[in-house]
Amino acid sequence: MTYFQVVKHMLTYVGIGLAIESVKKIDVKMFLNRILGIPSLIQSSLFDSMTDIMDQLIHAAKKTRTYDQGIVVYKNTFIDADYIERVIWQNPESQTSVVKATKVRYVTKVSYDDATSLLENTIQEVPNGFYGFYITKRGINVHILLAIDKMSNLGLPAKYVTIYRPVKGRNEMEKTEFEDKYEKLEDLAQAKDKWDRAIAVGGHLGEMEFNIITGDIFKAYNVVKSAINVGNSGERELPVRVVRVEATIRRSIDSSDPATSPAKTPAQSSVKRSNTSHTDIIVIDDSDDEDMEIANVESVAKDDQLHLCGIFVTNFELQRCINEFERINVQIEANKANIAKLRIEQQQRAEQQQRITLEQQLLQQQLQQQLQQQRQQLGLQLRQ
């Protein structure tokens, strides 16, 4: 049974429409108001069904990257000083309209110590839930992960298990799928050995990077939206992701003050990096920050820390944005040239019209003089 069919039965029960077309027009607020008038037992069942459907839709949307999480906070990330606020576009018509990009690096790998800390700090809310280290039941290669079972927002057992893989980091998995694929590993020494081996084999796979676009993001929004949805054949457009980054600045040997270091191209940047100690775990906070003003984003550097808020793009998406900005600049220059050409043509037409007007005035004066002379000659002839 599809989502709309389920909702159709719910809404029909509470007296809202019969056609599936009318169901699509009903919002959640009206649905919740209507179910308040039915017995509490049925009301709870309908509400639980709705939340289950919403959880499944959200989980599916996350897999297809069509779920808008609001402002996501990335902590314990790193920014090379050479890549702070690299200008990728400046509006030729306004010197204050500037779009910048900052390359952010982070590690999705989770060390065994961090995994055990996560497990120890987790309150076991779900009785008989999935907690601890698990390995795959089948297959030649044995994969290990950390599983943590949590309650949903309604105080009920969640339908998805939060998992942490050694290299890929945090994710979610449906409980039925998780139970079918994984079994618990009680031997912690064996768990540590498999976990450390997975990180060693993974190498650089757990090291990722993305870019934060800041500055005049209102000018950049449509460009980023187009870049993200290139080749997207889905019915729904992929959302523009807004993120907040709390990063540690990594200085290269040739870099100056991280807050004022000029942007360099990758070819100019030093390949030597300082050995900054850091925690490999990446913490993501899905909560919205109501006090965050996105419009005029300013970066603040203090004690080698940088806070940024802007639009999240990958390296490929950033390159598409840069190409689009270059096309916009070409178009702006072409428009300027066309406007200048039109102005010259208008000026030439005005000058030509002025010459024609002067010639007409001179001709009219000559005609008046000739007419006056003819009148004078006619008067003389009459007097004679």
Residue type, 249: I
Q: What is the 3-state secondary structure (H, E, C) of 9-65?
A: HHHHHCCCCCCHHHHHCCCHHHHHHHHCCCCHHHHHHHHHHHHHHHHHHHHHHHHCC
Q: Is 147 exposed, middle or buried (CB count within 10 Å of its CB: 0-12, 13-18, 19+)?
A: buried
Q: In this structure, are strands 86-90 and 300-302 parallel, antiparallel, or unpaired?
A: unpaired
Name the E strands within 193-352. Answer: 207-215, 242-250, 284-285, 300-302, 305-313
What does pTM read for this prediction?
0.56
Read off the pLDDT of each residue in 240-246 and give the average, rounded to a whole number. 85
Read off the pLDDT of each residue in 232-241 and give the average, rounded to a whole number. 74
Tell me what pLDDT residue 185 has: 92
Tell me what pLDDT residue 276 has: 36
pLDDT digits (tens, 9 = 90+) for 60-113: 777 776 776 667 777 767 787 777 788 888 887 777 788 999 988 877 888 899
In this structure, the number of other CB atoms found within 10 A of the CB of residue 210 comes to 20
**Residue 318 contacts by C-beta under 8 Å, 6 or more apart in sequence?**
88, 101, 211, 213, 227
Query: Residue 357 is encoded by which pair of tokens?
Result: 């007007």
pLDDT digits (tens, 9 = 90+) for 4-42: 555 556 556 555 554 445 555 566 777 777 777 777 777
Q: Is 191 helix (H, G, I), strand (E, B) or coil?
A: helix
The candidate with the shortest Cα–Cα distance to 282, out of 153, 104, 65, is 104
Q: Is 133 helix (H, G, I), strand (E, B) or coil?
A: strand
pLDDT digits (tens, 9 = 90+) for 52-69: 777 777 777 777 767 766
Kindly tell me if the per-residue pLDDT of 197 is higher than 50.
yes
pLDDT digits (tens, 9 = 90+) for 244-297: 888 888 775 444 443 334 344 333 333 333 333 333 333 333 333 333 333 333
How far is the C-alpha of 206 from the C-alpha of 112, rounded, in Å?
A: 14
Residue type, 79: I
Kindly tell me if the per-residue pLDDT of 45 is higher than 50.
yes
